[in-house]
Homo-oligomer: A and B are copies of this chain.
Amino acid sequence: MIIVNTGNGKGKTTAAMGQIIRSLGRGWKVCLIQLFKGKEFYGEQKILKGLKGLDFYCYASKHPGCFPGVSKTSLVSDCGKALKQFEKALASKKYGLIVLEEFNIAVRDGLLKIEPLLELLKNKNSNINVLITGRSAHKKLLKIADCVTEMKEVKHHFHKGILAKKGLEF
């Protein structure tokens, strides 16, 4: 199964985290590959690190949206490593679920090409479920996905000038 969480609303990452604990609860092994998220930054990461059955990788921790000085060359290289890690995870055949966090953003921003990602998805063993998150999912990815949810912002407190809050947004 190929699952995509996209859209401009809150809930893409948290739904992926919930999916991970659901799968772990069934005794599946899970691989989480995160882009643009420092490994020590998000509240959920502290819990995830303590869970058995989860392998957890972070690449390209600094997205240019937040860190304008970061070099594109290093980001492309890091996203390439993340894709390589995905390839390895698929080949190991030990995971019931592999989560590719913010890969949609990497594709949107030209840091990762869509074709090699699609190739890996199309040729994967059908028992391996892959969940891909991030706004602006590529239409070719939507086409091959089995399940797509758009997390659509109806209302967000950010627009009232409330900043991201520790414990809620990170």
Q: Which residues of B contact A160 (CB under 8 A)?
A: 146
A151 to B154, CA, bound (A): 10
Stretch of A67-75, A105-113, A115-123, A162-170 with 4 or more beta carbons under 8 angstroms from chain B: A162-170
Binary flags per residue of A87-126, CB closer than 8 Å to B gives 1, else 0: 0000000001100000000000000000000000000000
Q: Tell me, yes or no, whether A85 is within 8 Å of chain B by CB.
A: no
Q: Which residues of B contact A147 (CB under 8 A)?
A: 10, 155-157
- Please classify the interface of chain A as helix (H, G, I), strand (E, B), loop, or mixed, using the class held by over half of its residues: mixed
- Chain B residue nearest to A30 (CB atoms) is B167
Kindly state the interface size class of chain A when it binds its partner: 35 or more
B154 and A148 within 8 A (CB)? yes
A1 and B96 within 8 A (CB)? no
Q: Which residues of B contact A28 (CB under 8 A)?
A: 167
Given contacts A14-B22, A18-B44, A96-B167, 6 further A-B contacts (CB under 8 A): A22-B43, A22-B168, A24-B43, A149-B151, A149-B152, A151-B152
Q: List 27 A-B contacts (CB under 8 A).
A: A1-B168, A5-B11, A9-B150, A11-B18, A14-B14, A14-B22, A15-B18, A15-B151, A16-B18, A21-B44, A21-B47, A21-B48, A22-B168, A22-B170, A23-B43, A23-B167, A23-B168, A25-B45, A26-B43, A96-B167, A97-B168, A142-B154, A147-B157, A149-B151, A150-B151, A150-B154, A151-B152
Chain A positions within 8 Å of B, measured between CB atoms, are: 1, 3, 5-7, 9-19, 21-26, 28, 42-48, 51, 96-97, 129, 142, 145-157, 160, 162, 165-168, 170
